[in-house]
Chains A and B, each alone.
Chain A
Amino acid sequence: MPIGDMLFRSVDDSQINGVFPNTFNEYKKWDKEKDELPPEEVYKALFEELAYGEKIQIGRALTRMNYSKSGWKSLIKTTSREIKKAVKKDELPNNYKEFLITANEKWADPTFWYAMGQMVNDTTPIYYWNALDRTYDQDQNVVMQDEKRRIYIKTWIKTLKISVYVTIFCLILGFPVAHLLANLPLRYSNLLMIFVLLPFWTSLLVRTTAWIVMLQQNGVINGILVWLGILSDDGRLQLVYNETGTLIAMTQILLPFMILPLYSVMRVIPKSHMRAAQNLGAKPATAFWRVYLPQTIPGMSAGGLLVFVLAIGYFITPELVGGKDGKLIGHWIAYHLKTTLNWGLCAALGAILLGVMLIFYWLYNKIVGIDNIKLG
């Protein structure tokens, strides 16, 4: 249901079409080749719908209109005020076009009228195009967004890149730890397990802040490196407020999600398998590679998918430690949900995220097989 609602919202534009049905109908008849500005009927319909429409519905529509072009909000609001005044005094204009342009000269600016074209249908793919840095030109052709505003494709790539790296790092770091945990005698491994779980139970914000203290230029790590003479005092490394910091902090925070499934899978692999392989003449490395490793694949897959899914939607940690590189796609979903209220774009971003996940799931199923996943 929520997914259905999200998919519906990502193409739905019916609210505004309920507010300006006549304006949009007349708008569709406008021949842009012939007339620079829309015909008088469009202005008249707009005047009437602003004059007699429900204030709250118009307010909702304003928020929507502003996504297509900045400035709609105050344009409609100043115009509405003039219209209300005229209607109150019972002075309906003879020429609606002239009236609106006097009320606000922007009504003579064709770019606002072109932007209206995005909204005149009940359903629209525009949010998906926006989520991919594209928009419509005056004839409703899909074109690239203004270069200075292109952020989403970059953010998608950055999000995917960081998620893949974090998954790989978690695997590299988590595998030996899980192996150790699974093979030590229980009393040692229990102690070690606490070291894995302790940070897991610590607040996310505390861990993130701790990383800032560790990584900043006058922080612990840089301090030690300078003290050891490896770095000069001027050559301190920029380890945080960039992508490096994001990768380090996210890897540490997501590591338990890799270790736990790996551990539970490794624990049930009988030790006799390795011994049997070596008995049959395999070198330790070969035995590990051909006998042990294949048996851990279900754990690696479960851990890998878990970490990847969590990483791709992450946004608090990257925001805090990532500096200018810290805005992943999750940030923009939250931003449009709360600040711009552009829920259509939000839903489109969410739907694309879901699509990306499904593609990875499908790839995974092709390569490894989904039955192969095991949490213990």
Chain B
Amino acid sequence: MRRETPKSIADYTPLFFPAVMLVVFFVVPFSTMIAVSFFKRDPAGFYTPDFVVDNYARFLSAFFGRVLGFSLMLSVIVAICCVAIAFPFTYLLTRRPRAVQTVWLVCLLSVLSLSEVIIGFAWSTLFSRTAGITNLFVWLGVMQEPVALLPGFGAVLTGMVYQALPYTILVLYPALVRLDPTLLEAARTLGASPIHAFFNVVTPALRNTIVATLIMVFVFALGSYLLPQILGRPQHWTLSVLITDQAIYQSNMPFAAAMAVFLVLISLALVGLTLLVGRRENAL
């Protein structure tokens, strides 16, 4: 396809509206946040314009380092779990008749309508000792007595995977639907069992989709701040929780802004690194 290069200002007019939206709703707030991160906190009120690096300096401590590390690790695990569950599931779903697919997709979309708060409290009930799923296991004779499964890391992980899974499936679905089903059949005629063929034909053929989905879920999980509080102990709190805490409860906007900027930079760096590694492997 041949593309004409834009010649006059008029050729750029279709870009005008998105550009304005991007400036008003992204560039301006984000620049404000970066600016605020260098401001000085006023203990009595809000903050005063200044240029100090105290906020960033305060962040470089073992405590915040540990929280940052935990946030990144949690997001990576959530992303891997989501893709590991969603990829085979979506693949099998796309092999079903159209009507079956529609029912499943509508159910998944309805999960998206649940807010983080509802998901959090639903799981906290399910994981509780008095009304949780362990009662079911006791009734089935699998367990001796009901136990509380929360607060804990497993509970946080389950809640976050549950929340991100519908998004993961909806992102993977179009690519898997378009996948030529004869690729798998070809692999089978060449002597690969269906499971073998799934792992060395379907998965590598969709490598780029999988990487993109991992990044999306990772970024999505990084922003989660309610589920770790509802389902986890304080050591399971993510950086997003601390940012909310500083911004809303401690009224320390500059420090919250500094942490937010740091989080954005770190996640950008990780995403960039992933893409770079991906491109190098593609080139080989």
- Do chains A and B stick together as partners? no
